[in-house]
Chain A
Amino acid sequence: MLEVLVEQRFYVTAVLLFSVGLAALLLHPNLIKKIIGLNLMDTAVFLFLAAMGYVDGGKAPMVEPGAEAAAYINPVPGGLVLTGIVVAVSTTALFLALTHRLYQKYHSVNLDVILMLARRGTEEE
Chain B
Amino acid sequence: MSYNIPFLSIMLTLVSGILVPLIRREGGALRLIRGVQLGVAGLSALLLVRLSGAGASFSYPMGHIPAPWGNELRAGPLEALLALTFSVVMLLSLSGGAEDLRRDVRPDRQGWYCLLMQLLFGALLAMVYTDDLFTGYVFVEIAAVTACIAVAAKESGRSVVAAIRYLIFSCLGSGLVLLGIAMLYCITGQLLFSGLEEAVARLVQSGEYSLPLVVSALLMTLGLSIKSAQFPFHAWLPDAHASATTASSAILSGLVLKGYLVLLLKLILRVFGPALIVSTYIDDLLFLLGLTGMLFASVAALRQEEVKRMIAYSSSAQISYIFLALGLGSEAGWTAACYQILAHAMTKSMIFVGAGEMIRASGGHYWGELRGAARLAPLGGAAFTVGGLSLCGLPLLAGFSAKYCIAAAALDAEWQTAPALFGLAASSVLNAMYYIPAILAIWGRARANEDAPLVWMRGNGEGKCAILLFLAGNLLLGTAFGPVRGLIQQGLSLF
Contacts and interface: CB of A to CB of B under 8 A. Distances in A.
Contacts of B152: 98, 101
A22 B172 contact: yes
B160 interface: yes
A32 to B, nearest CB: 12
A116 B465 CA distance: 41
A94 B172 CA distance: 15
B134 interface: yes
Given A25-B172, A80-B185, A118 B179 contact: no
A18 B164 CA distance: 21
Interface string A31-47: 10010001001100100
A117 to B, nearest CB: 8
Interface residues of A, number: 37
A120 B144 CA distance: 28
A76 B191 contact: yes
Interface in A104-118: 105-106, 111, 114-115, 117-118
Contacts of B138: 83, 87
A117 B172 CA distance: 25
A45 B141 CA distance: 15
Contacts, number: 85
Nearest to B177: A45
Given A80-B182, A91-B167, 18 more contacts: A31-B164, A45-B175, A49-B182, A76-B191, A80-B185, A84-B178, A87-B174, A91-B144, A91-B171, A94-B149, A94-B167, A98-B160, A98-B167, A99-B164, A101-B152, A102-B157, A102-B160, A114-B161
A44 B167 CA distance: 19
B145 A101 contact: no
Question: How many interface residues does chain B have, given as a range?
Answer: 20 to 34
A48 interface: yes
B270 interface: no
A94 B186 contact: no
Contacts of B171: 25, 38, 41, 91, 95
A95 B167 contact: yes
Chain A interface, DSSP helix/strand/loop, else mixed = helix
Interface in B1-27: none
A98 to B, nearest CB: 5
Given A52-B186, A95-B167, A115 B178 contact: no
A121 interface: yes
Interface string A73-101: 00011001001100100110011001101
B158 interface: yes
B164 A105 contact: no
B132 to A, nearest CB: 11
Task: Name the 8 nearest CB pairs between A and B, nearest first.
Answer: A87-B141, A118-B161, A41-B175, A98-B164, A52-B186, A45-B178, A105-B157, A38-B171
Given A25-B168, A25-B171, A52-B186, A18 B158 contact: no
A98 B171 CA distance: 14
B94 to A, nearest CB: 22
A15 B172 CA distance: 15
A109 B158 CA distance: 15
